[in-house]
Amino acid sequence: MRTTIMQGCFLKFYVAENRRHQHKLAYEWLLEEAKTLGLQGGSAFRAIAGFGRHGRLHEEHFFELAGDLPVEVGFVVTNEEADRLIAHIHDHGLNLFYLRVPVEYGFTNPDS
């Protein structure tokens, strides 16, 4: 079995689902900007509940159509790509909480 193993980081941002930047939802803006910068992929996941630095609990209720639940936007990238994306976000004036964790990643069948 042949595998490709790379070193990098898991970069995750947390935003409220209804937060906007440049007239777009912040998580959509993050994904689009990451693609523009040449990152190979990213995902956004909506939480069912959460709280942030202000301690207010956010939960989904049946009658809410769009709220302020947390959305996690994550990327598995090289350290250089992470640095570029963080600098890009800073240059655009966004204040986002992020998590950066070292990871080993790869493909199980790199030639297929």
Instruction: At 108, list the tokens.
Output: 């199980």
Would you state the pLDDT for residue 109? 78
Residues 89-101 pLDDT 10s: 999 999 999 999 9
Q: Between residues 38 and 68, which one has the greater pLDDT?
A: 38
pTM assigned to the model: 0.82
Stretch 31-56: mean pLDDT: 86
User: Range with the lowest mean pLDDT among 9-18, 52-61, 89-98?
Assistant: 52-61
pLDDT bracket for residue 11 (50, 70, 90): very high
**DSSP one-letter string for 40-55:** S--EEEE-SEEE-TT-
